Structure formats: structure tokens, C-alpha cells
Amino acid sequence: MVFKGVVVPASATAPPLGWPLPALQLVANRPIVCHVLSELRKAGVREAALVIAAGHAGELVAHLERDTPAEMRVECIGYGEERTLEQALAQAAEFVGEQPCIVHAQDGLLAQPLAPLKRLLRGGAPDLLTLVKQSAEETNAIGLPTRRLLRLATAAPAAHPIALVGVRLFGEGALRRADGLGWWPESELDLVSLAERLIGDGGRLRVETVRGWQRYTGRARDLLELNRFALDTLAAAAPPAAPAADADSRIEGAVAIDPSAGVRSSVIVGPAVIGAGASVVESYIGPYTSIGAGALIEGAEVERSVILPGASIMHVGGRLTGSVVGRDARVFRDFSLPRALRLNVCDGAEVALC
């Protein structure tokens, strides 16, 4: 079976113009939505519809022109000006037609490949494969409606809190039947109604538990977890050829270094990625770290962190870990007197002094 892809917003409400689009947040130096498309392509999807708020379409298309997977056609379907989200989703259903499809939120990633899940829809397969994960956060746990959903799927309710995952797989023609039932944004009641409709039409439902799923909801820890997922993909693939660093540097594990980046007298332990034009000098870059384009790391130790483009970290006097450093931000040690902490902290930022 040839699957199509539909990449959808996590909610009907798009961020105001001028605010960053969650799908374009960088992890492993690529927008989240580009990782989503890459995962769809690895699962054999060659055509995908991307449902996007019209006001953000230009910015997103610019990224896609630079970073769409090879041999993949992406059709953008806007909403918010000439059409509603419901109409855009109906157009996406027409795009899919009678083919099976993978519906994926544009601002989240699974911690496992899609291809094995796709195989669950082969030969007498369910019409809808809904994914859940165990959740440590009670606020994200599924309540009574989804326990009804589990019973519809002849699965016993989980003993531990579970949460819906922003990926659904529809069998042949099932998405067209779902159109108009509020199948997205995700709603427990709508999902149950959809399952009941499909079962009433003679269809079948299956619920599958996945290892992990993470969306970007504006928290730094979301980006760190998404960065980990993306870099695990790098580690699982054949290690990319890293340009030779100077004789005083050491590269270990899966490390992707852009040819225009520079590494001098440093140790880099993968999985890690160093972006275009970045410079790493006399530093340690530990696992699960992404260094953005044009960033400067000098005389510092950084691990399990996301360093966004243009940022600089210089001689901080301690290891930076579990951190997100924003675009063009500067973190440095000031040796001038009098000695004191001097901070410029924006709204919503977090500073931990250890």
C-alpha cells in the first residue's frame, strides 16, 4: 500500500503574527516540521499535505524550500483567511482520497520510527490506528472517554496514566469517512465518536502503545527532549562523515559537523551536531547537544543542550547542561571588577545558579 501523509496543526488557534511558530523551532539544527517530513519519507511517504495557518505559510514554505526530503512532494493547504481549519482538513482528506495515510502533528516527534507502525495496517488491518503513550503527568492522562475508546478496541484500560499521541494512521478510505467528525484537533469525545462511527460502518480500531512522544508547548524541556529524539535518529543511522578536526581535537560517536564549521583543540562526543559557520574552540561538547549555525563555543563545556544560531558561550567556568541558549544570546564570564552577577533576562526566561 502507498501511504500519503497529512501534517496538521496541534490546535485550531495559530500563534499571532510575529510570534514563533512551534513547528519551526529548531532541534538538531532543523525545524521540527522538517524532522516530521523526514520521518514520513523514511516510512515510504512520497506525497504529503501540510495544513498551515495562512499568516505563517510564507515563513514555513521558505524553510521547506531549503529542507524538504528528497523525492517528496509537499502540498501546503492554508487556513484562516479564505477557508476555515475544517475546510482545510476537508481538502486534505480529498488530497488523500482512498489511500491509507499517516496524520502527524507538525510540532511533535515520536521516539521510534513510523515504518513498523505502518505495517500494522497491512492485510485485514484496522481502519484507524490510534497511538498512546504512558504519561507521568496526570494532567495529560486520558480520562473516561478514552477508556471507552480502549474498550472499543478490545484492549483493557491501562493501569497507569496514558496520553494520546499526535500521530494517527488511517486505513484505505478511512480519512474520508472521518472528514466532518472533528478528527483534529484532537479531542477525546471526537475521537470516541470517530471510532464509534467507523465501528458502526463495519470498520475496526486498534490502539497501540509507543515508547515516547513529545510536542513543543513552549517549554525548554520540550526542546531538549525533541532534540534528544532527533539526535537519536542521527546515532541510529550510519555516522555522518565529519570533517577532520585539527590534530588536537577528538571526535567520538555520531557527530555531524557542517563543512563550514571549525573545531579546534576540542572534544566532541555524539550524538551531536555542529551547524554551518559555527566555531568550537578549546571546548567539550557532550552527547545530545546541537550547536546552531554561526554559534561560538570557546573555553566551555556543554552537554544535553540546544544552542541556537548566533549564540556564544565563552569561558563560563562550569559545565552547561540541560540548557537552551537562544538566538544571538551571549553567555560569558566577565573578569572585570567589581565582581558580581550581571544578567539581562527576558520575559519568561529561566536562570538557575548552581
Q: Determine the Cα–Cα distance for residues 298 and 52; give it in Å rounded to an integer.
A: 39
Report whether 331 contacts 318 (CB < 8 A). no
Residue 17: its H or E element: none
pLDDT tens for the 354 residues of the chain, in order: 789 999 998 776 667 666 778 999 999 999 999 999 999 999 999 999 999 888 888 888 888 888 888 889 999 998 887 788 888 888 999 999 999 999 999 999 999 999 999 888 876 678 888 888 877 665 445 555 556 666 666 555 555 677 778 898 999 988 887 766 555 555 555 666 777 777 777 778 888 889 999 999 889 999 999 999 999 988 777 666 566 677 789 999 999 999 999 999 999 999 999 999 999 999 999 999 999 999 999 999 999 999 999 999 999 988 999 999 999 999 988 877 787 777 777 766 777 777
Place of cell 574552540: 281
At 181 the pLDDT is 58
Report whether 103 contacts 167 (CB < 8 A). yes
pTM for this one?
0.89
Question: Helix (H, G, I), strand (E, B), or coil: what is residue 208?
Answer: strand
Q: Determine the Cα–Cα distance for residues 294 and 15; give it in Å rounded to an integer.
A: 27
Q: Determine the Cα–Cα distance for residues 292 and 136; give it in Å rounded to an integer.
A: 31
Question: Helix (H, G, I), strand (E, B), or coil: what is residue 248?
Answer: coil
At 137 the pLDDT is 60
Cell of 291: 550547536
Name the nearest CA neighbour of 29 among 215, 216, 227.
Answer: 227
Q: How many CB atoms lie within 10 A of CB 45?
A: 24
Cα distance from N-terminal residue to C-terminal residue, the chain: 55
Specify which residues 288 forms β-bridges with.
none
Question: Helix (H, G, I), strand (E, B), or coil: what is residue 223?
Answer: helix
For helices 144-152 and 188-200, angle between their N-to-C axes, nearest 10 degrees: 20
Report the DSSP pairing between strands 26-27 and 30-31.
antiparallel
Q: Determine the Cα–Cα distance for residues 224 and 217; give it in Å rounded to an integer.
A: 12
Report the DSSP pairing between strands 306-307 and 284-285.
unpaired
Q: Determine the Cα–Cα distance for residues 29 and 230; give it in Å rounded to an integer.
A: 10
Q: Determine the Cα–Cα distance for residues 352 and 164; give it in Å rounded to an integer.
A: 32
Q: How many CB atoms lie within 10 A of CB 294?
A: 19
Those residues whose C-beta lies under 8 Å from the C-beta of residue 192, and which sit 6 or more positions away, are 145, 146, 148, 149, 152
- Sheet containing strand 301-303, edge to edge, reads 250-252, 267-269, 284-285, 301-303, 319-321
Specify which residues 97 forms β-bridges with.
none
One-letter amino acid at 201 equals D
One-letter amino acid at 95 equals F
Cell of 281: 574552540
> From the CA atom positions of the chain, what is the Rg in Å?
22
At 140 the pLDDT is 47
At 103 the pLDDT is 92
Of the CA atoms within 13 Å of residue 111, those in its CB half-sphere come to 14
At 235 the pLDDT is 78
At 269 the pLDDT is 95
